[in-house]
Amino acid sequence: MKIGIVCYPTYGGSGVVATELGLALAKKGNEIHFISYKQPVRLDFLSEKIFFHQVYVPDYPLFKFQPYELALSSKLVDVVMNYNIDILHVHYAIPHAYAAYMAKKMLEGNSVNLPVVTTLHGTDITLVGNHPFYKNAVKFSIDNSDYVTAVSNSLKVQTENIFNTKKKIEVIPNFVDFSKHKLHNKNCNRDLIASNEKKIISHVSNFRPVKRVLDVVKIFQQVRKKIPSKLIMVGDGPDRIKAESYCAKMGFIDDVNFLGNTEMIYEVLCYSDLFLLPSEAESFGLAALEAMMMEVPVISTNVGGIPEVNKDKETGFLFNIGDIKGMSKKSIEILSNENQLKRLKARARLNAKKFKIEDVVEMYLDAYKKTLKST
Ligand code: GMT
């Protein structure tokens, strides 16, 4: 199959899912065409089966806002015509599903049928898409996609409730690649990061307000009073300075490593004992699943799709948003009980196996086949 994949190229769940899915589909013999404004971050190699098409938006002084969706829809038409694309899979509704619809209509004029699969990732629905300025266009794009998937049941239900959509939404969860577990578990240089008696706690996100990174450092502040430990903060974003300043002001910045954006996520998870995800909203929580695959139990909130991934008392523990006291107490309990920690680590990994990339790729291939049949 020749598959076009539209995604955001930056660090963050939806781009990572789209890129890893494309790479896996290419390994199965499909021809994959990534279309984005920059090469996606995890797209670290190009092969005969993988293409990247960059969308340029030229600067023009008349425009206060550069019309990205116009440039994207035009590019989509070119790519579909030049490479005979069979199906287009867009990740994140805004503006990708909208641009895909425009491309589909333009192609109809050339008697070309372009089936469109849209995957909803979360913030495109719950935060941005929900805004009155975008809502009509998002509802329209969902209802006019040929096939729609959401990454969790929670997101499916939220989408139906917020937009009152007519389109059937199928749940295809996010996934992890266990070959990375094997690869990185061998090279776990834990002693480079912390001395042996210290426990390592980690957090990975884009440091947007929704991630509540201040809660992360406040939880750690309590934990370090009882347990010798170190906190590794991976990622970058608007709340990073706030979190760093808090740690400095409270006198424990020495025990916190702010790594910024890095590709070395699996290396960090490899030596982590506990992962914190106290988000205010999370349609799925891919970062938690990646931690679980690397045998790291998760202390998280109980919002959105997180309970579909992190199982309370099995793979970690779930709390209400902002329950810093509860999350700190539980972290201390887990980290001071080696048997409990060992049990949680094993179950975290076991549960992550329900989200193996091989199975999820088959679910997407099935979705493509159904779409092609029905359009
Ligand atoms: O979490 C973010 O802010 C990034 C965002 C994205 O679009 O990349 O993540 C969303 O999609 C991920 C992949 O499907 C999910 O794992 C995240 O839970 C979801 N984030 C939110 O719903 C806040």
The tokens for 345 are: 């680590």
- pLDDT of 133 higher than 90: no
Q: Going edge to edge, which strands form the sheet with 274-277?
A: 256-260, 229-234, 199-204, 274-277, 298-301, 316-319
pLDDT at 248: 98
**Three-class SS state of 117:** strand
pLDDT at 155: 96
Residues 144-172 have a mean pLDDT of: 96
Query: Is residue 237 lining ligand 1, measured as CB closer than 6 Å?
Result: no
pLDDT at 110: 92
pLDDT at 4: 98
Query: Is residue 14 lining ligand 1, measured as CB closer than 6 Å?
Result: yes
pLDDT at 168: 96
Query: Is residue 310 lining ligand 1, measured as CB closer than 6 Å?
Result: no
CA 257 to chain CA mean position, Å: 22
Ligand 1 binding pocket mutation candidate from 123, 159, 171 (most atoms within 8 A of CB): 123
pLDDT at 45: 63
Give one word for 152, left, alpha or beta, with left for phi > 0 and alpha for psi -120 to 50.
Answer: beta
Query: Is residue 125 lining ligand 1, measured as CB closer than 6 Å?
Result: no
Cα(165)–Cα(148) distance, rounded to whole angstroms?
Answer: 11
**Domains of the chain by range and CATH?**
2-175+356-374 (3.40.50.2000), 178-355 (3.40.50.2000)
Pick the residue whose CA is nearest to atom 21 on ligand 1.
282
pLDDT at 44: 63
Ligand 1 binding pocket mutation candidate from 283, 293, 321 (most atoms within 8 A of CB): 283
Give one word for 322, left, alpha or beta, with left for phi > 0 and alpha for psi -120 to 50.
Answer: left
Cα(270)–Cα(180) distance, rounded to whole angstroms?
Answer: 10
- Ligand 1 centroid–CA 289 distance in Å is 12
Its sign, for the CA torsion 35, 37, 43, 44, is positive
pLDDT at 131: 83
Query: Is residue 13 lining ligand 1, measured as CB closer than 6 Å?
Result: yes
- Ligand 1 centroid–CA 4 distance in Å is 21
Tell me the one-letter amino acid at 75.
Answer: K
Ligand 1 binding pocket mutation candidate from 6, 7, 11, 14 (most atoms within 8 A of CB): 14
- Ligand 1 centroid–CA 122 distance in Å is 6
Cβ within 8 Å of residue 131, ≥6 positions away? none
Cβ within 8 Å of residue 152, ≥6 positions away? 171, 173, 283, 284, 304, 305, 308, 309
96 touches 6 (CB < 8 A):
yes
Q: Name the pLDDT band for 214 (thresholds 50, 70, 90).
A: very high
pLDDT at 283: 96
Q: DSSP secondary-structure letter at 94?
A: T
Pick the residue whose CA is nearest to atom 23 on ligand 1.
282
Pick the residue whose CA is nearest to atom 9 on ligand 1.
13
Beta bridge partners of 136: none
- Ligand 1 centroid–CA 192 distance in Å is 31
Query: Is residue 281 lining ligand 1, measured as CB closer than 6 Å?
Result: yes
Query: Is residue 155 lining ligand 1, measured as CB closer than 6 Å?
Result: no
Helix (H) or strand (E) holding 346, with range, is: helix 338-352
Query: Is residue 90 lining ligand 1, measured as CB closer than 6 Å?
Result: no
Lowest mean pLDDT among 60-69, 180-189, 216-225: 180-189
Helix (H) or strand (E) holding 348, with range, is: helix 338-352
Q: What is the dihedral of CA 154, 350, 326, 205, to 10 degrees?
A: -60
Pick the residue whose CA is nearest to atom 20 on ligand 1.
282
Residues 172-189 have a mean pLDDT of: 79
Locate the ligand 1 atom nearest the alpha carbon of residue 124 and give its number: 7
Query: Is residue 19 lining ligand 1, measured as CB closer than 6 Å?
Result: no
The tokens for 272 are: 């982590």
The tokens for 357 are: 């990339």
Locate the ligand 1 atom nearest the alpha carbon of residue 304 and give its number: 22
DSSP E strands: which ranges in the chain? 2-6, 31-36, 50-54, 87-91, 116-120, 147-150, 169-171, 199-204, 229-234, 256-260, 274-277, 298-301, 316-319
Cα(204)–Cα(192) distance, rounded to whole angstroms?
Answer: 19
- Ligand 1 centroid–CA 235 distance in Å is 14
- Ligand 1 centroid–CA 283 distance in Å is 6
- Ligand 1 centroid–CA 284 distance in Å is 7
DSSP E strands: which ranges in 24-156? 31-36, 50-54, 87-91, 116-120, 147-150
- Mind listing the pLDDT tens digit for each residue in 46-102? 678 999 999 999 888 888 888 999 999 999 999 999 999 999 999 998 899 999 999
Cα(151)–Cα(125) distance, rounded to whole angstroms?
Answer: 12
How many CA within 13 A on the CB side of residue 142?
Answer: 30
